[in-house]
Amino acid sequence: MTTFKDWSISFVAAALLVFSLQTSADERLQFQLTPASIEPGQRTTLRVTLRLDPYTGSEPEGLEIHDSLLTEGKDWAILSSKRILEKNQAEWIYELSAYRSGPHRIPPIEVSIRGASFSTETVELNVSTSRPEKDLQIRPGFGVLELPVYWGPRIALVLGVLLASLLTFWLARYLVRRFKARPKPLPVVVSPAVPAEDPRLWLQRQLQEYRTKLQNEKLDPLVIDEFVSILKRYFAKAQLQNARALTTRELTFVAGSSPALKKAIPLFERCDGYRFHPTQPDPRALAHECLHSAEKEILACI
């Protein structure tokens, strides 16, 4: 049977357990508002510090803070907030300011980690001024207030300016290419056609140069081949275009209508006889005979 003494002992044990848990929670989570009393527009700092157990990695697993009641408050303004994470503790720092005189209740902030939840108590912030209502004299302020920076609109503005600049660049480039004056075509300078040299005059000049070569002491071994080439080139210019590719026998078949070519056939045969069966060591005499015959007989028929 449970006696009054047993109930008393159970109640005291439960109370001690709750007190120990509360004391443990209070030891792990600490908060402080400094200063607790400010004038309108003055700054105050709220610090929330949680003692951490040893952990691995960049931050403890499951560490979260729930401060929506603080950040959404209407009677004060959050000027800045930051978190400082160390190996043995995590600290959240809030810079606050209020402008409406009177007491303001800063709501509790909840911190949870690994299934455990800790919460601060409600803190009272007193905003009061010692200036009379009609005192409008300007006094030194409480320092420069750091207004919150909203990066979204600024980034959108920068991107908009870059996009507009890019579109302007491409439009200007397109217009320059579209309306750029096309270069005028350069006039084509046609050189006057050089009149073709008369075949007879060409043959006379070639024979004269050939005679000059025969006067040299050192004679070219291919002097007979050169003479044959001169005559065939002449007939290619004057009458038969493929004369240079024909043999002496083939020229004999096409020489019927050309008196000059008929006169040249015996010269070709004498030159072929020397070229394929040379009988004299010096072709100078044969070259002079062929040159004399060409000037006397072929040039006379042209």
Condensed to tens digits (0 to 9), the pLDDT of residues 189-242 reads: 777 766 777 888 888 888 888 888 888 878 777 888 888 888 888 888 877 777
Structure confidence at residue 20 (pLDDT): 41
For residue range 134-190, what is the model confidence (pLDDT) as tens digits? 665 655 655 555 666 778 888 999 999 999 999 999 998 888 887 776 666 777 777
The CA distance from 295 to 281, in Å, is: 25
Percent of the chain with pLDDT over 90: 8
Q: What is the pLDDT of residue 69?
A: 85
Q: Indicate the pTM of the whole model.
A: 0.39
Q: Looking at residue 274, what is its pLDDT?
A: 80
Q: What pLDDT sits at residue 281?
A: 59
Length of the chain: 302
Q: Please say if the pLDDT value at position 24 is more than 80.
A: no
Say if residues 42 and 142 touch (Cβ distance below 8 Å): yes
- Using CA atoms, how far apart are residues 107 and 91, in angstroms rounded to an integer? 18
Instruction: Tell me which residue has tokens 């394929």.
Output: 276
pLDDT tens-digit readout, 105-138? 899 999 888 878 888 888 888 888 776 666 656 5
Please say if the pLDDT value at position 23 is more than 50.
Answer: no
pLDDT tens digit string along 233-281?
888 887 777 777 788 788 887 777 778 888 888 888 888 888 777 666 5
The residue-averaged pLDDT of 57-70 equals 83
- Residue keyed to tokens 């030891």: 27
125 vs 43, 44, 47, 76, CA distance in Å? 11, 9, 14, 10
pLDDT tens readout for residues 69-105? 888 888 888 888 888 888 888 899 999 898 888 898 8
